[in-house]
Amino acid sequence: MTLTSEKKQKIAEVIIQILNSRFQNFPGNALSNRNAPFHEAFLAAFSDKIQDKITSDIPVFISLASWFHGLNTTLGQKFFESVAHILSNGYKSSFTVARGNTLTITDNQSYKISDIIAKLNRKEKKPDVAYENSLLIFDKKDLSKSIDAWDFTVDVFIENQYKITCIELKAVKPNAGEIRGEKTKILQAKAALFRKYPNKTIEFFIGFPFDPTNNAVSPTSFDKKRFMSSIINMNNYFSSKEVLLSSELWDFLSGKKGTMEEILSIIRDIATPDFLNNLEFLKNKSNKSDSLQEYLDLLNKWHLKSEIELLNCDENLLTKIKSNEQSIRIYNQPIFNTKAEYNRSRYEHLSKLISK
């Protein structure tokens, strides 16, 4: 086992919220998309391609495509980031005008960044992190004029006593036009962070949660050389040392091997066709007494360690709260709210009573 039960539960909580949200948005019928004349006109050209593979009902196909696009967005904007933060104990950090948290670089750094990008663009230099850092960016003797750095946001910002680690997460492959901009932004960010944290090592990666070019049996496998070659201009601007791909990314975040497979295992445990029934079963507190073993089994399958902890101490807990009206009310709260968010404040209150 690589992940602690606490981290597993936090990941499970994110999965439960996302599944509940996507179930609520799943298209029950396609009536609302009956009038989609432009879609239908274009898709007619592909009728032989999609026939017998997805559906012969174009409105249903459009509804499902829209729903799947929403799932992609949710994974990119919530799931990957949330799990990355849980694994690494990092957080999202913005250095922007809007946040009142802008940073500076020097004229010299700005010139050198432009020079790096120009040489990479002309293929006069190959991407070389060590060269870019030590010779061009991290010059402690640079006393040139300070100027505003670009606004930037770090998806995963990790700080310890000696190092700042930043990761830009990409849920989809960037296009050719984005690559140069991403590299420039990363060089700007590293230069600015060096000015802010001059006594710490600064490292910045671009991370991809999975390898879409992977055809292996294992979904966690990856081929970084093939993947980078599949993105136009990627090899022109990025060294493989700057890229974290698939299981490499998740292992890096957790510091342990086998993390991606464990994440997928947690998803498989929860993401079943009876998910909504299971969620309602856990919300119904009477099942704790009427179907105790089934209730415990489901808590265990869904990695809800904290609720198992409370349930194992239920008799002791009831004794302690019997004359405390506030605690009784908290005890009787559901473990999930209407958005399927875990009621952590309930757990924290009751667990403190157990430890007394």
Read off the pLDDT of residues 207-252 as tens digits, 9 standing for 90 and up: 999 999 988 778 999 999 999 999 999 999 999 999 999 999 999 9
Phi, psi for residue 85 in degrees, rounded to 5: -65, -40
What ranges do the domains of the chain cover? 5-88, 91-264, 272-355
Three-state DSSP class for 49? helix
What is d(CA 56, CA 306) in angstroms, rounded to the nearest whole number?
47
1, pLDDT greater than 70: no
What is d(CA 12, CA 22) in angstroms, rounded to the nearest whole number?
15
pLDDT given for residue 29 in this prediction: 60
Would you call 274 exposed, middle or buried from its count of C-beta atoms within 10 A (0-12, 13-18, 19+)? Answer: exposed
What is d(CA 102, CA 189) in angstroms, rounded to the nearest whole number?
11
105, pLDDT greater than 80: yes
Contact 281, 16 (CB under 8 A): no
* 201-208 and 163-169 strand pairing: parallel
Q: Which residue(s) pair with 248 in the sheet?
A: none
Residues in the chain: 356
Whole-number percent of the chain with pLDDT over 70: 93
- Candidates 263, 264, 269, 348; CA nearest to 86 is 263
Q: Which residue(s) pair with 336 in the sheet?
A: 342
Phi, psi for residue 216 in degrees, rounded to 5: -75, 165
- Could you report the per-residue pLDDT of 276-290, keeping only the tens digit for each? 999 999 999 899 989
Residues 6+ positions from 215 with CB-CB distance below 8 Å: none
31, pLDDT greater than 60: no
What is d(CA 339, CA 54) in angstroms, rounded to the nearest whole number?
31
- The answer to pTM > 0.95 is no
Give the model's confidence band at 172: pLDDT under 50 very low, under 70 low, under 90 confident, else very high: confident
Sheet holding 201-208, edge to edge: 91-95, 152-159, 163-169, 201-208, 243-245
55, pLDDT greater than 60: no
